Amino acid sequence: MTAPLRDLRAERAADAGMWLFLASLVMLYAGLFSGYVLLRAGSDTWTTPWREASLWWSMPLSHLAWLAASAAAAWRWRVGHPSGSGQQHPIFWWLPLVAAFVASLNWLRAASALAGAGHAPATSVAAASWFVLTGFVATGIVGGGVAVGWLAWRHRGGAPPAHVARQVQRYWTVLAACWLSIVVGMYLW
Amino acid sequence: MRALTDHKSLGITYGITAGVFMLVGFLLMLLFRWQLAWPGQPIPIATAIFGETNAPGGILLPEFYYQLVAMHGSVMIFLAVVPLLTGALGSYLVPLQIGAAGLAFPRLSRLGYLLFLAAGLLMSASFALPGGAPNSGWTSYPPLAILASSGQTVWLVGVLTLGASAMLGAVSLVATVVAYRAPGLTLMRLPFFVWSQAVTAVLLLLSFPPLQAAAIFQLMDRAAGTSFFLPSGLAVSNVPLEVSGGGNPLLWQHLFWFLAHPEVYVLVLPAMGIVAEVLTAHARRNLWRYGLMVGAVVGLGAWSMVVWAHHMYLTGMGTTLSSFFQITTMTVSVPSVILITCLIVTLWGGAIRFTTAMLFALAFLPMFGIGGVTGLPLGLAPTNLVLHDTYYVIGHFHYLVAPGTMFALFAAVYHWFPKMTGRRLHEGLGVVHFIGSFVTMNAVFLPMFFMGLMGVNRRLYDGGLQYELAAPTLAWNATMTWSAVALGLFQLVFVWNLVRSARHGAPAENPWRATTLEWATASPPPAGNFVETPVVTGHPYRYEEGEA
């Protein structure tokens, strides 16, 4: 009787820990974005060169796809396994990761186009904001990717436990939601 | 290294490391206090230690003086007091007080400690860099900080690392409280100390990231040539800076104080938790209005996140914003007063035992009271305009943190030393330590209020020698410095007591007959803490049920 109780406690701790970590992550992005808002609102000469690049809409679109993939994975897990036990199809592990990878590639394309057009970070606060805010997601993606890769290696030959999958999906969903908020804010304002 | 996954070893290691950093911070203070007391007078062997570039002929140069001041603040807050309260006491006591075998994520907690250690060593090592340690104050206001020497870059990396460390420790601690409480230990049966630690951890989790965001911006300004904090048209020594400009220095202040004001409560809330535990055990009285206290500590934590701009009245924020922050600042004192009132009323009718722990806990109340009351004029814009940047602010802040929080820390050590070692600290030496600390701390910090009210600026390298208004206060600087030296000597009594009692102190299992869970196991606790998982059937404080 002891082992299941222990597992439930560990799962509850992991749930709490992940939510706390995500709250901290949201505050980090909120800090970065509030800096952008304050600088943007206080400037009379603000420019948005990232909106002048070709295919500029592909940035928010690819992030929207990322958010959708993460949300679909999280939703699928909830619908499929409301009791918290059991496994899910591996595609719902990899879908958010693939979507995040595509979004990152899109960022690399946009960043090189922006720098190539003479808008390097040191040229203006606006360009610096774009590079810092959008570039910082790379840390989150790399961190999440490493975690997923490590989990996949650790559970090679079998699917990871459902509660682990739940944490991973939460991470990608919140990261994608934060990121989409920032991208939409920067591209529409 | 594996031992650090045990929360008791981790707590003690945190305590020793933070204690060493506190010694470093104290010595930095003694150095710059020498300069304030005897401006221009050589310090013996200073040149041999700090070199000709910092102290030619034994006299501290202004540049070096400001490095000492900036690092004193940084070390004391980030590397000493906060880690002592959360890393040391939180890691050691919280699992014991909730009947758990350990922390929820021991390896994360260990990583948090290692990051803290790395950040501390990195920041301390910045003295060896060309240009020395950061010299822009612990607040690191731009644009000065961006133009400062390379030590500032190290400081920023240190702050980023400390943020990650705080996050890991806080996640582990709160998850432990959420998931590993003993059967029957409902939230409203938690010891008040656990509540204070949990609220503090959440505060750290939510308020540190904006400072990390600010540190990223400032690092970019220093390393990548961006201008987040550099306005257009900035010139240094009449030479225009070759930067794009367009940034805003006030952005740093907003993001910095969004952490740094809740940081004050990170320093105060665990102290309140300690004092509550000590008062209730040594007065043999249950905490008065426990539920109200829990509500107050949660409210205080939450409300502390909407008062940050009262540090910025001088920036010309306008009357609307200023009024908002004046109102929030005045109202944040309400839960503080509730907590202090509950603690005082707890003493009513108690069988008070004046142990050393109790003396320190009792002294905390008026010291914190002085710190709190003197903060009210700073929370109102009209008086803040006069008092800002004077010694009054230094006095106010130090009354909260030095005689306030430090006294709570001393109370914690005297109270829980038997739990950690199975032996009591010597009470006679403890009383000497208490009296010496009480007198000397007040002698150091009380004159600062009067200096501030007389208009003496707090950033003067010569202690105010060149200002007529400061003339009556110059002699006080020497008294304050001698008091600081005496304060240090009294801490030697404390250290001797720790070392002596750890080996030869009177054996003690539960000398205070305290009723919280940590005392339900052996002292020191065995591996796994409890032989059998404790089952909680009632309130943590049962001092009025006949046990006393």
pLDDT one-digit tens code per residue, B46-67: 999 999 999 999 999 999 999 9
In the prediction, which pLDDT does B349 show? Answer: 93
- CB-CB neighbors (< 8 A) of B243 in chain A: 122
* Distant-in-sequence, close-in-space partners of A12: CB < 8 Å, separation ≥ 6: B178, B179
pTM of the model: 0.94
* B445 neighbors B401 (Cβ within 8 angstroms): no
Closest B-chain CA to A9:
B179
B308 touches chain A (CB under 8 A): no
pLDDT of A84 above 70: no
Distance between CA atoms of residues B333 and B377, nearest Å: 12
Of A10, A12, A31, the CB nearest to B214: A31
Work out the mean pLDDT of chain A and round it to a whole number.
Answer: 84
DSSP string for residues in chain A: -HHHHHHHHHHHHHHHHHHHHHHHHHHHHHHHHHHHHHHHHT-SS---GGGTSTTTTHHHHHHHHHHHHHHHHHHHHHHH-TTS-S---THHHHHHHHHHHHHHHHHHHHHHHHHHTT--GGG-HHHHHHHHHHHTHHHHHHHHHHHHHHHHHHTTTSPPPHHHHHHHHHHHHHHHHHHHHHHHHHHH-
- Which residues of chain B from 145 to 184 reach within 8 Å of chain A, CB to CB? 167, 170-172, 174-176, 178-180
pLDDT digits (tens, 9 = 90+) for B63-115: 999 999 999 999 999 999 999 999 999 999 999 999 999 999 999 999 999 99
Closest A-chain CA to B207:
A27
Fold type of domain A2-188 = Four Helix Bundle (Hemerythrin (Met), subunit A) (1.20.120)
Q: Are B224 and A122 in contact (CB < 8 Å)?
A: yes
Interface test with B, best of A18, A28, A134 (most B CBs within 10 A): A28
pLDDT digits (tens, 9 = 90+) for B333-362: 999 999 999 999 999 999 999 999 999 999
The number of beta carbons lying within 10 Å of the beta carbon of residue B503 is 8
pLDDT digits (tens, 9 = 90+) for B453-482: 999 999 999 989 999 999 999 999 999 999
Range B2-231+244-520 has CATH code 3.40.50.1220: no
Closest B-chain CA to A45:
B246
Distance between CA atoms of residues A179 and A136, nearest Å: 10
Of A28, A125, A126, the CB nearest to B213: A28
pLDDT of A1 above 50: no
pLDDT band at A81 (very low <50, low <70, confident <90, very high): low
Of B174, B208, B258, the CB nearest to A20: B174
* A9 neighbors B180 (Cβ within 8 angstroms): yes
pLDDT band at B537 (very low <50, low <70, confident <90, very high): very high
A89 touches chain B (CB under 8 A): no
Distance between CA atoms of residues B420 and B94, nearest Å: 13
Please state the ipTM of this predicted complex.
Answer: 0.93
Q: Which residue has the higher pLDDT, B119 or A156?
A: B119
pLDDT of B157 above 70: yes
pLDDT band at A4 (very low <50, low <70, confident <90, very high): very low
In the prediction, which pLDDT does A88 show? Answer: 65
pLDDT of B122 above 60: yes
In the prediction, which pLDDT does A2 show? Answer: 44
Interface test with B, best of A19, A20, A129 (most B CBs within 10 A): A20
Whose structure tokens read 């020395």? B132
- CB-CB neighbors (< 8 A) of B208 in chain A: 24, 27
Q: Are B244 and A125 in contact (CB < 8 Å)?
A: yes
In the prediction, which pLDDT does A79 show? Answer: 63
Q: Are A28 and B202 in contact (CB < 8 Å)?
A: no
pLDDT of A83 above 60: no
In the prediction, which pLDDT does A66 show? Answer: 86
* A33 neighbors A134 (Cβ within 8 angstroms): no
- CB-CB neighbors (< 8 A) of A31 in chain B: 209-214, 255, 258
* B526 neighbors B96 (Cβ within 8 angstroms): no
- CB-CB neighbors (< 8 A) of A38 in chain B: 248, 250-251, 254
CA angle B326, B332, B334 (to 5 degrees): 120
pLDDT band at B548 (very low <50, low <70, confident <90, very high): very low
- Which two structure tokens, joined as six digits, stand for B443? 């002698």
pLDDT of B547 above 60: no
Q: Are B226 and A121 in contact (CB < 8 Å)?
A: yes
Of B167, B179, B225, the CB nearest to A13: B179
Closest A-chain CA to B180:
A9
- Which residues of chain B from 204 to 263 reach within 8 Å of chain A, CB to CB? 205-214, 216-217, 220, 224-228, 243-248, 250-251, 254-255, 258
pLDDT of B438 above 50: yes
Distance between CA atoms of residues B215 and B199, nearest Å: 24
Instruction: Identify the weakest region by mean pLDDT among A88-92, A125-129, B494-498.
Output: A88-92
* Distant-in-sequence, close-in-space partners of A52: CB < 8 Å, separation ≥ 6: A117
Closest B-chain CA to A23:
B206
